Structure 1
Amino acid sequence: MNLAHALELLALPAGAVAVAALARRLGLSAPLVLVVAGLAASFVPGMPRAELDPEFVLFVFLPPLLFSAAWRSSYYNLRENLRSISFLSVGLVLFTMLVIGYTAHLVVPGLPLPAAFVLGALLAPPDAVAAVSVAQRLGLPRRVVTILVGESLFNDATALTAFRVALAAAVGGGFSLLAGGGRFLYAALAGAAIGLALGPLLQLLRSRLNDPLVETAVPILAPFAAYLAAEAVHASGVIAVVVSGLYLGHRDTGSSALTRLLSRSFWDVLLFILESVVFLLIGLQLPPILDGLSTEQGWPALGWWALAVFLATVAARFLWIFLVALVPELLSHRHRDADDRLDRRNLFVLSWAGMRGVVSLAAAFAIPLSTPGGEPFPNRDLLLFLTFTTVLGTLLVQGATFPALIRRLGIGSDRERYTDMVSEAAAQHAAARAALDRLETAVEADDSVDGEVVARLRQLAEHRTLKAWERLGGGTGPEGKEVPTATYRRLRREMLAAEREVFIRFRNERRIDDEVLERVLHELDLEEALLSRD
Structure 2
Amino acid sequence: MALFELLIALLLGGAVLTALAHRIGAPYPVLLALAGTALAISPVNVPGIRLDPDLALTLFVAPVILDAAFDTSPRDLRENWVPVTGLVLIAVALTIAAVSVVARALVPEMPWSVAVALGAVVSPPDPVSATAILGRLSPPRRLVVILEGEGLLNDVSALLIYRLAVAAAVGTALTAGHAVPLFLLNSLGSVALGWALARLYLLLAGRITDLAISVVTQFVATFAVWIIAEKLQVSTVLTIVVYALVLARRITSLQKAEVRRGSLAVWEVAVYVLNALAFILVGLQLQDIGDAIPGGVTRYIGFGLAVLATVIAVRLAWTFTYNAIARMVERFALPPERRTPTARSYKSALVVGWCGMRGLLTLATALALPFDGAFANAEHRDLVIVAAFSVVLGTLVIQGLTLGPLLARLGLGDDGRGTLERDVARQETTRAAIASLDGVDEPEAAMLRKEYSVVLQDEALRHLRPKVFGRLRMAAIAAERDTLMRLRRERAIGEDAYRDVEEELDWAEGNARRRGRALRLPDGDDGGRR
**TM-score over 0.5 for the alignment?**
yes
Amino acid at match of 2:458: K
Pair 1:196 & 2:187 matched: no
Q: What pairs with 1:174-185 in structure 2 (closer than 5 Å)?
A: 174-185=173-184
Structure 1 residue identity aligned to 2:354: W
d(CA) in 1 for partners of 2:96 and 2:436? 59
Tell me, yes or no, if structure 1 residue 285 matches structure 2 residue 285: yes
Instruction: Tell me the TM-score normalized by structure 2.
Output: 0.88
Question: Residue 483 of structure 2 aligns to which amino acid in structure 1?
Answer: A
**Which of residues 448, 460, 474 in structure 2 aligns to 1:457?**
448
Match runs of 1:85-100 below 5 Å: 85-100=84-99
1:327-349 CA distances to partner (integer Å, 9 max, x unpaired)? Answer: 35446711696524521110111
Tell me which residue corresponds to 1:383: 384
Aligned pairs (5 A) from 1:426-437 = 426-437=424-435
CA distance in structure 2 between the partners assigned to 1:131 and 1:214 by the alignment:
31
* 2:117–2:166 contact (8 Å) kept in structure 1: yes
Counterpart CA distance in 2 for 1:412 and 1:329 is 21
Equivalent residue for 1:367, pick from 363, 366, 369? 369
Report the alpha carbon displacement of residue 407 of structure 1 after superposing the two structures with TM.
1.1
> Which shows bigger deviation, 133-142 or 274-283?
133-142
1:188-210 deviations in Å (ceiling 9; x for gaps) = 21111110001122123222334
Q: Is the 8 A contact 1:329 1:336 kept in 2?
A: no
Provide, for residues 459-509 of structure 1, a one-character-per-residue CA deviation record: whole Å limited to 9, x for no partner.
321221122222223435xxxxx45x86455324411342145347759xx
Residue 405 of structure 2 corresponds to 404
The answer on 1:526 being equivalent to 2:507 is yes
User: What is the Cα deviation at residue 357 of structure 1?
Assistant: 0.5
CA distance in 1, matches of 2:403, 2:473: 39
Gap runs ≥5 in structure 1? 477-481
Query: Compared with structure 1, are the counterparts of its residues 424 and 520 closer, same or farther at alpha carbon in structure 2 (3 Å cutoff)?
Result: closer
Evaluate the alpha carbon distance shift between residue 392 and residue 134 of structure 1 in structure 2; reply closer, same or farther with a 3 A threshold. closer
Provide the C-alpha distance between the structure 2 equivalents of 1:272 and 1:180, rounded to a whole number of angstroms. 37
Letter in 2 for 1:207: G
User: Which residue matches 2:528?
Assistant: none
Provide the secondary structure at the position in 2 that maps to 1:243: helix
State whether structure 2 residue 458 is matched by structure 1 residue 467: yes
**CA–CA separation in structure 2 for the residues paired with 1:119 and 1:520:** 57
On the 8 A contact 2:323/2:345 being kept in 1, the answer is no
**How far does the alpha carbon of each residue in 1:289-331 deviate from its partner, in whole angstroms, 9 at most, with x for none?**
11122349x94x6333222211111111122222233235446
Counterpart residue number, 1:479: none
Larger radius of gyration: 1
Q: Is the 8 A contact 1:111 1:378 kept in 2?
A: no
How far the C-alpha of 1:131 sits from its partner, in A, is 4.2
Contact 1:421 1:472 in 2 (8 A): no
Change (3 A) 1:230 1:390: same
CA distance in 2, matches of 1:6, 1:411: 44
Equivalent in the alignment of 2:526: none
Q: Once the 2 structures are TM-superposed, how far is the Cα of residue 440 of structure 1 from its aligned partner? A: 3.4
How far does residue 106 in structure 1 lie from its aligned partner after superposition?
0.9
TM-score w.r.t. the length of structure 1 is 0.87
Residue identity in the other structure for 1:41: L
The aligned residue for residue 264 of structure 1 is 264
1:353 aligns with 2:344: no
Amino acid at match of 1:260: R
Which has the higher mean CA deviation after the structures are superposed, 145-154 or 75-84?
75-84
Q: Which whole-Å CA distance do the structure 2 matches of 1:65 and 1:353 have between them?
A: 18
Q: Distance in 2 between matches of 1:276 and 1:143?
A: 27
1:439 aligns with 437
What root-mean-square deviation, in Å, do the aligned CA atoms of Structure 1 and Structure 2 show? 2.8
Q: CA deviation at 1:260?
A: 2.6
Q: 1:500 to 1:52 in 2, by over 3 A?
A: same
| Identical-residue share of aligned pairs (%) | 31
Change (3 A) 1:184 1:4: same
Q: Partners of 1:23 and 1:488 in 2: how far apart?
A: 29
Match of 1:31 among 26, 29, 32: 29
Query: Unaligned stretches of 5+ in structure 2?
Result: 517-530
1:61 and 1:18 mapped to 2: Cα distance?
A: 21
132 and 56 in structure 1: CA distance in 2 versus 1, 3 angstrom threshold: closer
Determine the structure 2 residue equivalent to 1:19: 17
Contact 2:128–2:360 (CA under 8 A) maintained in structure 1: no
In 2: Cα distance, 1:371 partner to 1:336 partner: 57
Aligned length: 509
Q: Which amino acid aligns with 1:178?
A: G
Tell me the SS of whatever aligns to 2:154: helix
Rounded to whole Å, the distance in 2 between the matches of 1:319 and 1:122 is: 20
- Measured after TM superposition, the shift of residue 281 of structure 1 is 1.2
Distance (whole Å) between structure 1 residues aligned to residue 390 and residue 210 of structure 2: 48
Check 1:48–1:327 CA distance in 2 against 1; reply closer, same or farther (3 A cut).
Answer: same
Match of 1:491 in 2: 476
Structure 2 Cα separation of the partners of residues 304 and 15 of structure 1: 31
Q: 2:307 is matched with which residue?
A: 309
Gap change, CA 1:472 and 1:331, over 3 Å in 2: closer
Q: Does residue 502 of structure 1 match 2:487?
A: yes
The alpha-carbon deviation at position 6 of structure 1 amounts to 3.0
User: CA distance change for structure 1 residues 399 and 422 in 2, over 3 Å: closer, same or farther?
Assistant: closer
Contact 2:18 2:28 in 1 (8 A): yes
Aligned to 2:316: 318
Q: Separation in 2 of the partners of 1:163 and 1:506?
A: 67
Cα distance change on mapping 1:429 and 1:400 into 2, 3 Å: closer
2: CA distance, partners of 1:527 / 1:123: 45
Find the aligned partners of 2:457 and 2:233 in 1 and give their Cα distance: 55
**Alpha-carbon distance, 1:51 to partner:** 2.5
User: Does the Cα contact within 8 Å between 2:164 and 2:176 map onto a contact in 1?
Assistant: no
Give me the whole-angstrom Cα distance separating, in 2, the residues matched to 1:79 and 1:464: 33
Pair 1:55–1:473, CA change in 2 (3 A): same
Mapped to 2, the partners of 1:100 and 1:142 lie a distance apart of 31
